Amino acid sequence: MPLKSRFWPLVCAALWARAAGAEPAEQPVLPAETLDRVVVTATRLESVTAFDTPASAGVVALGDGGARPQAALSEVLEGIPGVFARERQNLAQDTQLSIRGFGARSTFGVRGLRLYADGVPATMPDGQGQVSHFNLLGADRVEVLRGPFSALHGNSSGGVIQLWSDIPDDGREARAQASVGSHDSTVIGARVRGAGDVLGYSLSASVLDTQGYRDHSAARRESLNARLRLKPGDGTLDLLLNHFDAPDAQDPLGLTRAQAWQAPRQAAPVAVQYDTRKSVRQDQLGAVYERPLAAGHRLRAMAYGGRRDVEQYLALPIAAQGNPLNSGGVIDLANDYGGADLRWSWTGDLAGRPFELAAGINADRQRQHRRGYENFIGTSLGVRGTLRRDERNQVGNADQYAQAWWRLAPRWSLLVGVRHSRVDFRSDDAYVTATNPDDSGRVVYERTMPVAGVVFAPTDAFRVYASTGRGFETPTFNEVGYRADGGAGLAFDLRPATSRNTELGVKWRGRQGARVEAAVFRADTDDELAVARNVGGRSSFRNVGAARREGVELQADLPLHDAWQLQLAYTWLDATFRDSFPICTASGCTSPVVQVVAGTRIPGIARQQASARLRWQGAQWSVAAQLSAIGNVTVNDTGSERAPGYSVLNLELVRDWTLRQGRLQAFARVDNALDRFHIGSVIVNEGNGRFYEPGTDRTFTLGLRWLWAEN
């Protein structure tokens, strides 16, 4: 797509926005869906709104939940341009998340993005993250930051997603909810929150049970989240607790093309044979202290710690475990982690104009005891057998960062920042035999990431901005865990991927809540990390040279006549390898011989994505319809196979009753109302050709929600 043609959506959006602002229509008050003119904490600015930030930054308000069962993060990320959130119909694995193509290579968990829950990192120092413990029922908003300024969050920040639960300034609130759905799915949860002169609180708990859309995909998830606020002196101290437990979530694995199209609800035969499953338990504590000081100064200190235990049974054939270097088909991970962040900020004037300066230091540590066992005993499969791996891994980062915002002229503002990151990997091998040598080792990655952006405000309702910066992404410990050549030792020869990011955008806000945003962006990456081979649940990686991700994003929220509201979003993203490189394609291959030519699409990324949501809000009823369309997705580096594009229609209905004590809501939802077959997610470069994870057929959800508030 020529560069000239990439700018026409921006020009059209700007002209349309001015025309639309000429005749604002009177609108009713609608339950909040997207907050505007708010401070986005992901930008780490105390006094600057998202509208005045030279970045694609936004907030999605969760409100009272609407017709959502509030069971998955992907429910609330639909309709945000540049964000690709795919449910895998497999709760043994996390939601697939990518932002502008970063994170798309992940076969499990979340990589390449920074994740936070109530200010506490959900991404480890090596860049591996998870959202399974995000408690949506207790949350109030989700913040999403895209573009160059994500780099101020450190390693693997191709984008930032933050989940927040709020504590009211006064009064008390309660909510209880239960829903039932297709495939024997139930979600039950409750939240209470309130505030007084000394103590504020927000407590939530939920339980999800499902038999799953596919065979062998039953799962249960229990989640508890607590946030307590104390007010010592002039400051606030938030104490955070999170508990998550998901025992023996069944893993149906991916399907081949023939299997997926013939019987999409089936599990891979080896999934049943080896009883593939995963158990996760996490307990976490955190504390955040904030205190305003004299003359515009402010101090924020955060500390956290936790433990996450993972046990996973893979479908690794017995024959493959005959190799003395193989670490077995059962993974046992015990993770202890923690960290701290100390930040100072000052808001005042520089040369008579508003100015904000912030600086901080950050350190995180993860200690991992990784053990591997055979997944058989004699002829019994899917059981823990003989020890095959025993090592202790440690990864930590030590970062320093600073940023400054200045309104240098009445209609111009400047935001600059820099972060220096040092990430230290170390592994100590305790499983050493005559045929399995010592795999211990250490490697250190270090980078400095500058970013800068400028905003021009031709009118009070219109912004034009440009930003640029650098970022980097180290391999995770899971990615250095296996060498691409199948040999002994960890893959400490991997280099971090470094990127150069630019963005140009416009923003417009109307008086009645209308808004339009558009952006063009480009990210050029050197030493791109890609899957070298993926066999038996084990992915190995390599650096493959240069890659480019460029595209256009459009978003519009348009209040229509009376009680109608229309939300539109569109993403065009061209992600390609810029250099050619050899790869393995056959099962068991250790010497790459198949060439990926320059210009091939990066797998796991849709070139086009669009959504349209129309909503009507009455006094007691609300109705919504959302159409989502996604282009085809290549599933391997050569691009020889791809999941076809698809579109799905989702319908929502909510009815409100006012009670003597609070409100009662009944809600109904139909997902994939037209019952379209589609591939919901893909497993990139799966070595056995099981790339495809089918999406659900037509599914139904019915629920009740009780809400109560006292001021």
Q: What span, in angstroms and rounded, lies between the C-alpha atoms of 548 and 527?
A: 11
Is residue 551 within 8 Å of 56, Cβ to Cβ?
Answer: no
Please provide residue 262's backbone torsions phi and psi, each rounded to the nearest 5 degrees.
-80, -45
Residue 651 token pair? 């319908």
Local structure of 335: helix, strand or coil: strand
Residue 182 token pair? 């297709």
Q: What span, in angstroms and rounded, lies between the C-alpha atoms of 147 and 80?
A: 13
Is residue 288 within 8 Å of 119, Cβ to Cβ?
Answer: yes
Residue 655 token pair? 């009815």
Q: What span, in angstroms and rounded, lies between the C-alpha atoms of 402 and 150?
A: 13
pLDDT, residue 588, reads: 62
Please provide residue 530's backbone torsions phi and psi, each rounded to the nearest 5 degrees.
-140, 160
Q: What span, in angstroms and rounded, lies between the C-alpha atoms of 668 and 536?
A: 40
Q: What span, in angstroms and rounded, lies between the C-alpha atoms of 243 and 134?
A: 10
Q: How many CA atoms lie within 13 A of 38 on its CB side?
A: 16
CATH number of 3-710: 2.40.170.20
Element holding 540 (H helix, E strand): strand 538-543
**Sequence-ordered list of residues with C-beta below 8 angstroms from that of 231, at least 6 positions apart, any chain:** 197, 198, 199, 200, 237
What is the SS3 string spanning 354-400?
EEEEEEEEEEEEEEEEEEEECCEECCEECCCCCEEEEEEEEEEEEEE
Q: What span, in angstroms and rounded, lies between the C-alpha atoms of 434 and 621?
A: 72
**In Å, how far from its chain's centre is CA 526?**
23
pLDDT, residue 28, reads: 35
Q: What span, in angstroms and rounded, lies between the C-alpha atoms of 624 and 622?
A: 7
Number of H helices, E strands in the chain: 6, 42
Element holding 8 (H helix, E strand): helix 8-20
Please provide residue 275's backbone torsions phi and psi, each rounded to the nearest 5 degrees.
50, 55
DSSP string, 150-198: GGGG-TT-SEEEEEE----SSEEEEEEEEEEETTTEEEEEEEEEEE-SS
Local structure of 320: helix, strand or coil: helix
Distances (CA, A) of 1 to 523, 574, 607, 662: 15, 9, 12, 54
Is residue 303 within 8 Å of 119, Cβ to Cβ?
Answer: no
Strand partners, 564: 616
Q: What span, in angstroms and rounded, lies between the C-alpha atoms of 371 and 328?
A: 9
**Sequence-ordered list of residues with C-beta below 8 angstroms from that of 15, at least 6 positions apart, any chain:** none
Q: What span, in angstroms and rounded, lies between the C-alpha atoms of 224 and 204?
A: 6
C-alpha radius of gyration, the chain, whole number: 25
Local structure of 495: helix, strand or coil: coil
pLDDT, residue 75, reads: 85
Is residue 86 within 8 Å of 95, Cβ to Cβ?
Answer: yes
Is residue 393 within 8 Å of 427, Cβ to Cβ?
Answer: yes
> For residues 462-500, b (16+ Cβ closer than 10 Å) or e, as one string?
bbbbebbbbbbbbbbbbbbbbbbebeebbbeebebbbbe
Is residue 635 within 8 Å of 681, Cβ to Cβ?
Answer: no
Distances (CA, A) of 678 to 82, 303, 527, 613, 646: 21, 43, 33, 20, 6
- Pairing relation of β-strands 120-121 and 529-535? unpaired
Sketch the domain layout of the chain as residue ranges: 3-710
- Pairing relation of β-strands 110-111 and 114-117? unpaired
Question: For the chain (length 711 residues), average pLDDT per consecutive 10?
Answer: 38 37 35 50 82 92 83 87 90 90 82 92 91 89 94 91 90 95 96 91 96 96 96 93 96 96 97 97 97 95 97 93 89 96 96 96 96 96 96 95 96 97 94 88 93 97 97 89 73 91 96 92 94 66 92 95 92 96 72 86 95 95 96 93 96 95 95 96 88 96 94 78
Is residue 128 within 8 Å of 113, Cβ to Cβ?
Answer: no
Burial tier of 2 (Cβ tally within 10 Å: 0-12, 13-18, 19+): exposed
Burial tier of 619 (Cβ tally within 10 Å: 0-12, 13-18, 19+): exposed
| Amino acid at position 7, single letter | F
Query: Taking the complete model, does pTM exceed 0.85, yes or no?
Result: yes
Alpha helices by DSSP H, listed for 390-490, are 477-480
